[in-house]
Amino acid sequence: MYDFVIVGGGSAGSSLANRLSADPSNRVLVLEAGRPDYRFDVFIHMPAALMFPIGNRFYDWKYESEPEPHMNGRRVYHARGKVLGGSSSINGMIFQRGNPLDYERWAADPGMADWDFAHCLPYFKRMEDTLAAAPDDEYRGHDGPLVLERGPATNPLFAAFFEAVQQAGHPLTTDVNGARQEGFAAFDRNVHRGRRLSASQAYLRPVRGRPNLDVRCRATVSRLLVDGHRVTGVEYARPGRRHERVTAGEVILCGGAFNSPQLLQVSGIGAADHLRSVGVRPLHDLPGVGEHMQDHLEVYVQHASTQPVSLNPLLQWRHRPWIGLQWLARRGPGASNHFEAGGFLRSNDDDAYPNLMFHFLPIAVRYDGSAPAGGHGYQVHIGPMYSDARGSVRITSPDARVKPALRFNYLSTAQDRREWVEAIRHARHILGQPAFAPFDGGEISPGPDVASDEDVLAWVARDGETALHPSCTCRMGVDDQSVLDPRTMRVHGLNG
């Protein structure tokens, strides 16, 4: 028997395993369905190789949405990390807190008073070792396991970008995670000494030798073991073995926005009518499980560059051996994620705080490395952060190996569509400033033919991609649509 069984070795699971196993009297088991994050795996650990795990079945669970009704019936691809560290082992490595007013908004909801920014800030600081922050910076931490390096942003296109945002009337800031988050600056990144610093590398690897910590990879949990109103353990499977059961004092679900609600549902915890419809016997009727899903959609506004200063040569195979050799020495273009700068602004004066997110990249290429624009270029990744569109995660089978149905309802609300039009207008305004004149070879995507508001929305529907930030499917609160008690983080109505 274990004191704690943690289902999922991603961002949350890795940090919890570290903290709980720090008490030698606790026996802790981590069950991760994906592979280990081997030390020699260049596709995980080289920051510039971030495009390779996306869409690769060895690293990525390769989810797709159901046909999105407001995006021409498209199925939107969703990458999820199939490896220890979860999606922190395959993502873009930008470290970004929410805006302080996000947490004040949380705290205004019934039962959520302890989730305001003042309560959250000490925990943010505790996780960080922010190398670029001053020792007396009251907003940043210096002793945590997660080392954060500031993007160097030395490519001349970054200088043009920073000048352009000011010409467009927007401020610079010194730290988008600091005292003033509104504005543009170099990003904090989960990169340390030229290597990706995933949650697994920061939290799990340093403590894997603890005798009270057991980490099992390729271990897929099939269901929770429930006795009345108490979860007593889990059932799981590993390749070539029969199903195993393990009992636990507490089971902690860290499967992320897709798999945590899925596991609850296949275990009989969720909306009773839906569970019956897919052949699962309801054990605990909790209608909010898997509902209220939110995500960030994004597009890329791309320009050609008239000067050969972009990262385009990195896409050519003939350069990759040299990039790899440099990376082994922890330097060169392989040692950066290249998402080194960006910022946040308000789409209009009615917004209380920034609702648009910008990432600048000195190359014109898609996030997964596909469809390069050709030649030198640069781009802004842009998208609204607070869409009021809501989706769901719902199982279609009692079998946990069958992927659930994902519905996001992108572009389904008037607010969402309005903010998208405003977002593209702001991106084009910035990229059209005089600072870019020495480089500007014209807009590649969406292109000058996309001019009206209707054209913009049609392009977003056709070309938009997820920014890989799904959330809220096991939301905290005290109303009948909430799943977690905000005081204890336990599932409402259950113990264990």
* CA 106 to chain centroid: 20
Q: What is the dihedral of CA 347, 348, 350, 354, to 10 degrees?
A: 30
Longest dimension (CA), the chain: 69
What does residue 250 show for φ and ψ, rounded to 5 degrees? Answer: -140, 140
Distance between CA atoms of 308 and 363, rounded to whole angstroms?
11
Q: Does 469 participate in catalysis according to the annotation? A: yes
Distances from the Cα of 79 to the Cα of 326, 329, 353, 356, 486, angstroms = 28, 30, 29, 22, 29
- 223 pairs with which residues across the strands? 235
Rg of the chain over Cα atoms, rounded to whole angstroms, equals 23
**Amino acid at residue number 415:** Q
Please enumerate in sequence order all residues whose Cβ is within 8 A of that of 130, keeping only pairs 6 or more positions apart, or say none. 137, 140, 141, 142, 148, 177, 188
Q: Is 425 helix (H, G, I), strand (E, B) or coil?
A: helix
Task: Classify residue 118 as exposed, middle or buried by CB count within 10 Å of its CB (0-12, 13-18, 19+).
Answer: exposed
Contact of 191 with 336, CB cutoff 8 Å: yes
Distance between CA atoms of 62 and 52, rounded to whole angstroms?
13
Which residue of the set 142, 274, 429, 469 is catalytic?
469
Please enumerate in sequence order all residues whose Cβ is within 8 A of that of 27, keeping only pairs 6 or more positions apart, or say none. 1, 2, 3, 4, 212, 214
For 37, which DSSP code?
-
Contact of 220 with 263, CB cutoff 8 Å: no
Contact of 345 with 182, CB cutoff 8 Å: yes
Contact of 221 with 215, CB cutoff 8 Å: no
Pairing of strands 195-196, 213-216: unpaired
* CA 78 to chain centroid: 11
Contact of 329 with 277, CB cutoff 8 Å: no
Kindly list the catalytic residues: 469
